[in-house]
Amino acid sequence: MRLCSISVYETVSHFYIIGSDAAEAKFSVLKVDRTAERDFVVGEPDHEYSKADVAELLSTISSSSIVTQSDTYYGAQRSGHNTLVQTINKAYGLIGAIRFLEGYYLLIVTKARVVAALGHHAIYKIEDVSMIYIPSTGASTNQDEQRYARLFQSVDLTTNFYFSYTYDLSHTLQENTLAMKNLSWNKNSYSKNLSSEQKFVWNNYLLQPFRENLVSDKWTFEIVHGYIGQQTIELPCSKLALMLIARRSSVYAGTRFLKRGTNFIGAVANDVETEQIVWDMFSSPRFDSGKFTSFVQRRGSVPLFWSQDPSTRGVVGKPPIFVDLVEPHALTTAAHFRTRWRKTPCSFYKHGVFCYTVNFLLVKKASSLFFVLIPNAQFLF
């Protein structure tokens, strides 16, 4: 059961997070301890509740608890002496928890909208995130704590972050379809419990406190960064849905000019996997019987050790390119292409296949920096 709607209640000693499925027929409860100032302590009863059970539970908590003045939201003040306070009326789910120097903060998606639908699966774009300080002592007065919190909040989680309750956005349509059928491809086995491709998940670190406390995955979801859009085309005898999914890698990520080339494990800067999907909406919405096509491309920085001086961005023309490290055997470049090799169809894998690399550098300058790489099995393995 996936929890598609959550509400947050607070007392002086605990946060109570109430989650329900889309039909609001089944409910679950998460209890977060507020007395542990520096630890993340969560309890999850192994029990499903009805709507009446939840109302009775909240009534019991309200009659036995007193809420004192607290600064629940970072930088905001609320006061009151109610027995139970509803902090958030309706939210979409939890994307993690984080701690800087003092206590933990909860990160909750409070606003989102559907931007695409792939078969039965709805895909959402995050539009607002609430950051709630857990300890009952209120927001910390530590200046360093406040500075770190402001720095974290400067990362706009409402800009091009996406999630889905039922579809794994970190994998391609082909990989998700193979997993649904428990099939193998290119020496990789895909099962129904296929784990996410971690390089495309941007809140892994934020989810660690929940995973360490063995909290069910139904409370949280993984988010990807990039772009997702969809358009429909009406034809006389059909209706097509065109979807574009661009997944940006979280490994060796950074802004232009500040991150160039590759790191020592072969992860390149500006690494984006772009997937174009076409779905015949008059066919079945199921992947195993509907009409779907998918075309995947990968782009990224040149897999060599090179850089550009960001201080020269204001000058006319492009900053000069510097080769920081020369590898005679191109081991790091080989590591980069090895990850691409895994997506090669197994029917060609046995006989060898070229990995086609398109060079977007200027032709006159490219010869001094980059050479055309056509790796083969001996080179990569």
Kindly tell me if the per-residue pLDDT of 81 is higher than 60.
no
Per-residue model confidence (pLDDT) at position 366 = 47
Instruction: Provide the mean pLDDT of the chain.
Output: 83
pLDDT band at 62 (very low <50, low <70, confident <90, very high): confident
pLDDT tens-digit profile of 192-203?
A: 567 888 999 999
Neighbouring residues of 336: CB distance < 8 A, sequence distance ≥ 6: 262, 266, 267, 268, 303
Share of the chain above pLDDT 90, in %: 51
Per-residue model confidence (pLDDT) at position 316 = 62
Q: Give mean pLDDT, residues 180-188.
A: 61
Contact 34, 121 (CB under 8 A): no
pLDDT band at 185 (very low <50, low <70, confident <90, very high): low
Per-residue model confidence (pLDDT) at position 354 = 59
Per-residue model confidence (pLDDT) at position 329 = 84
Between 28-37, 236-245, 369-378, the lowest mean confidence (pLDDT) is in 369-378
Nearest alpha-carbon partner for 93 in 225, 228, 212, 203? 203
Neighbouring residues of 154: CB distance < 8 A, sequence distance ≥ 6: none
Per-residue model confidence (pLDDT) at position 317 = 66
Q: Which position has the token pair 């550098």?
A: 361
Between 61-75, 117-131, 267-281, the lowest mean confidence (pLDDT) is in 61-75
Strand-strand pairing, 104-118 and 121-133: antiparallel
